[in-house]
Structure 1
Amino acid sequence: MAQVTLQGIKRELKTKGYLTELRKKGYVPAVYYAHGEENLFLAVPENKLKPLVFSPETYLIDLNIEGVGQKTCIIKEFQLDPVTDEIVHVDFHGLKAGEKINVEVAVHLIGTPIGVREGGIIQHSLHKIEIECLPTEIPDKIDVDVTHLKIGDALHVKDLNLGQYRVLTNPEATIITIVPPALHKEEAAGETAAASEQAEPEVIQKGKKTEEEEK
């Protein structure tokens, strides 16, 4: 797993206006929490945080908090503005040696399916799988060989052999399906028609609700 360093500054629990000013200065309000420790409220530079949030990978972060010291953690959750997609809040989960954590890991497809060579289309439905493991065992990605899949075949979470990892994602969840070209075109046309009938765009919530102080 890739390891990066991120700087943070402590912040106070204050009003929404205070948090808005932080964001105007290029900082994202955040909280750090870990088992057996008090929560730390901080802010991190948005330009340094973006590459970590908008990435399929999960990073091991050395979070240097001014006046506190270094905390090793991962990004557990984040909240995006539903209109601008700007990061408005992030949670850092502190890691403890010997203590297992739940973490989402990117799915990496390997090979070209037989069905694609025969004209089929890949539908990649699941891009991350949640597992439980020790911090030292977090993989960079989960490699999934798809070369054997034919048109009409689907690969589910339960089909994977992840060895020492405990899989938390629904075992029936579909990772990838190889669909016939005609079916793919019909589905695409249906989605276009449905979108044109909507009076307003649907707002999809991403991340999680922000903490109480930010309401």
Structure 2
Amino acid sequence: MTEFVEALKQSHIAMYGDIKGNADYTSLVDDVQHQRFNELLEDAKQKGATITQCLPDGEGRKTPLYVATNLNPNMRICQEEIFGPLLPVHGYRDIDDVIEYITERPRPLACYLFSHDKELREHVLEQTHSGGVTINDWGWHVLNHSVPFGGVGNSGIGNYHGEEGFRELSHARSVLQMRGWFPIQLFSPPYGTWVQKLVVRVFVGKPDLSLNKRS
């Protein structure tokens, strides 16, 4: 766990360096979200999480990446969408522990699986549900507009992008035009006319009453 957090921190530093005045680094969307983000962070600290700040604070709402470890289910960051640069990290010893953790909770919008082990990848994909999957990266299934994107279960219903999006965001209206020559009267009462009986005999056939006889 310690090695992972340190590697993640160094990658963040290598990508952005100082985020102050860095045009490649965005800010939280508004003051309300900035306040909520800080509340989530403080809630995790108060409930025992270990928080690693990967870079110094930027100006305004520019917030560096935080990594949270030593988590418990009572923390808000384990229950709510975060929408900010805060990554909760749960440790595991066996991949089936990960699968159990996922399946015990509402179905996620996405699954990002990092592994070059084909059997392990297939095992995870077969045993879990999610809106979409990107393997050995994140988010690319969303950016690819030729494949459907959407959630499943609590993470959403339906897909969009490409043809799937056209079908999802439109309504196919059925229009049936009856032709003048169509014998609609055959489907209207009174029933039992000789014409109706003939049609039933031709298209349905004579019923086999032998099945109703007792042996």
TM-score, normalised to structure 2, is 0.24
**Structure holding more helix per residue:** 2
Q: Which has a greater percent of strand?
A: 1
| Higher relative contact order (Cα pairs below 8 Å, separated by 6+ residues) | 1
